[in-house]
């Protein structure tokens, strides 16, 4: 018999200081249906330590291990290191160019960055500011590649906040596509045998797409899942074989 691991993925919970009691039922339900919970960024609303403390309290009901990356909202107040520490001390496996194994599955995670997709991606030309933006996207892709390279198990899950492909941001205004992700993140996903990718950020995008190499990419932003699947809880459960 083939054993499986169930992964419940969601993003953009945007916890605030007044969110106490509102997220715990969601985490408890996800724990009942999964062996691992994945939070793909925008864990807090303004990146404040007080918000992270509330989120840590809400996560106490989770009986499944939690793996997470930060999102752009978690950087808003410049206190992302404190947010990360609070959640890590609460038992959350925080990934930022790191990898871990949970329930027989390997997880590699980065926040990702902006820059656009394909032929329309921003190039490193012109002002130094533009070059720095492009370099940040390149650096995030390199961090992802390094994290994936550390994993030796056959099932590898990539956790991002920004989208690695355009397909899962379709539905958002096209003019903001460059701010929703970067196709530079796609390259390492096709270079390593990745089972699936989770991301958030694009609240009005599409739930699923594929990289050029055929890797499934899931947009698990809570607002999107609530809109697209109103008859089910706002998280995606993915089952993967582990032997």
Domains annotated on the chain, with CATH = 4-241 (3.60.21.10)
What pLDDT is stored for residue 175 in this prediction? 95
pTM: 0.97
Closest CA to 68 of 28, 104, 27: 27
pLDDT single digits (tens) 174-200: 999 999 999 999 999 999 989 999 999
> Is pLDDT above 80 for 45?
yes
What pLDDT is stored for residue 49 in this prediction? 98
């Amino acid at each position: 018999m083939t054993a499986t691991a169930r992964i419940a993925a969601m993003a953009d919970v945007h916890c605030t200081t007044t969110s106490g009691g509102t997220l715990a039922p969601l985490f408890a339900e996800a724990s009942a249906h999964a062996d691992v919970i994945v939070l793909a960024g925008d864990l807090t609303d303004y990146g404040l330590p007080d918000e992270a403390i509330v989120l840590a309290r809400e996560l106490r009901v989770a009986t499944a291990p939690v793996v997470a990356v930060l999102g752009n909202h978690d950087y808003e107040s410049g206190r992302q290191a404190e947010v990360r520490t609070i959640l890590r001390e609460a038992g959350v496996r925080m990934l930022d160019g790191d990898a871990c194994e949970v329930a027989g599955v390997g997880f590699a995670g980065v926040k990702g960055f902006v820059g656009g997709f394909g032929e329309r991606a921003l190039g490193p030309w012109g002002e130094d500011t533009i070059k720095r933006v492009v370099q940040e996207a390149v650096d995030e892709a390199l961090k992802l590649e390094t994290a994936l390279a550390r994993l030796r198990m056959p099932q590898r899950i990539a956790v991002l906040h920004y989208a690695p492909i355009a397909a899962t941001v379709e539905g958002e205004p096209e003019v903001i596509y460059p701010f929703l992700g970067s196709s530079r993140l796609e390259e390492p996903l096709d270079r390593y045998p990745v089972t699936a990718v989770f991301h958030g950020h694009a609240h009005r995008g599409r739930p699923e797409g594929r990289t050029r190499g055929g890797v499934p990419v899931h947009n698990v932003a809570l607002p999107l899942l609530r809109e697209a699947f109103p008859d089910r809880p706002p998280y995606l459960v993915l089952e993967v074989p582990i032997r």
